Amino acid sequence: MPGVSEMNIREKNLWLFDVDNTLIRDVDHPDVFQDALRLWNALKTKGKTNAILTNVGRLSSRQIHDVLESVGFHTEIEKTFSAGAAAAAYVHNRSPGARCFVISEGGATEDFVSRGLNVTNNPPIEYVAVAADRGLTFAELNFATKMVREGAQLICISGSFEYRGVYLGMEDVYIGERSIVAAIEHATGVTSVVVGKPLPEIFTETMTILGFAADDAVMVGDNPASDIAGGNAAGMTTILVNRDSENIVQFDSQGHDLKPDIAVNSLEEIIELL
Ligand SMILES: [Mg+2]
């Protein structure tokens, strides 16, 4: 006997998908999960709206869209939301055109520029925003710290402590943005705002931009602490897919409910409910 949410799932019109370890292994290794691609296409056939909400902050929305497009997950750039885009929206909603110092590998910087923010390397700085950056220099970290000490708001773009990836051809586990921001917090005594899943505001903002209400929306992901916690807190129906636990990135769930409405071992099981 299916639960209430399982029976109602076919009526939901917005399907928000996580990327890493849900649709593909990760953006550096875009190996497709075939169950995800089949669900994605089944939803499109039924006229549903598929969109992306990822905690990846080292690539821009455009770059993430291009990776997904290249392996068969077709959608519009306007329906692809990176952590950098979420952070840019967060800053824009509070201070349009704010002067921002952005630490990133280029992706988050692109998202901030696209949102109309004033990305600059010189004072005065209103927001210091930190994404994953494997080319981070001491000078950048030092400048960011000084600007926060002088009153800039500190934003952590996504919140991974560490993650697997490839950089300059090297496979490794890398220190994430949350760990870089911890250094600035330690030096200044200022606590950052972490903008990324599970922050409910970014789920709500994404649904608003796309024109859907929470009771018409589903979040699909592999990570209880980010996808499920945030989706639940934003009032969405949540689906957890059981993937390789080795590839689940650690995030702070911020005390939200981690229990999904539906848990599956393969997204094929969801197709049967449509
Ligand atoms: Mg994931």
pTM: 0.89
CA–centroid distance, 122 to ligand 1, in Å, is 35
CA-nearest of 18, 8, 11, 15 to 241 is 18
CA–centroid distance, 21 to ligand 1, in Å, is 5
How big is the chain, counted in residues?
274
The encoded tokens of residue 5 equal 């949410």
CA–centroid distance, 3 to ligand 1, in Å, is 25
Residues with CB under 5 A from ligand 1 (ion): 18, 20-21, 222-223
* Residue 214 DSSP label: G
Walk me through the domains of the chain, giving residue ranges and CATH numbers.
Answer: 4-55+197-271 (3.40.50.1000), 85-195 (3.40.50.1000)
Strands 193-195 and 217-221, how do they pair? Answer: unpaired
CA–centroid distance, 28 to ligand 1, in Å, is 13
The encoded tokens of residue 63 equal 């770059």
pLDDT values of the chain reduced to their tens digit, one per residue, 274 residues = 455 556 689 999 999 999 999 999 999 899 999 999 999 999 999 999 999 999 998 899 999 999 999 999 999 999 999 999 999 999 999 999 999 999 999 999 999 999 999 999 999 999 999 999 999 999 999 999 999 999 999 999 998 999 988 999 999 999 999 999 999 999 999 999 999 999 999 999 999 999 999 999 999 999 999 999 999 999 999 999 999 887 888 888 888 899 999 999 999 999 999 9
∠ at Cα 184 (183, 190), nearest 5°? 125
CA-nearest of 85, 21, 6, 9 to 225 is 21
The encoded tokens of residue 218 equal 């589903």
CA distances (Å), origin 255, targets 202, 215, 227, 260: 16, 22, 13, 15
CA–centroid distance, 223 to ligand 1, in Å, is 6
CA–centroid distance, 18 to ligand 1, in Å, is 6
CA–centroid distance, 255 to ligand 1, in Å, is 19
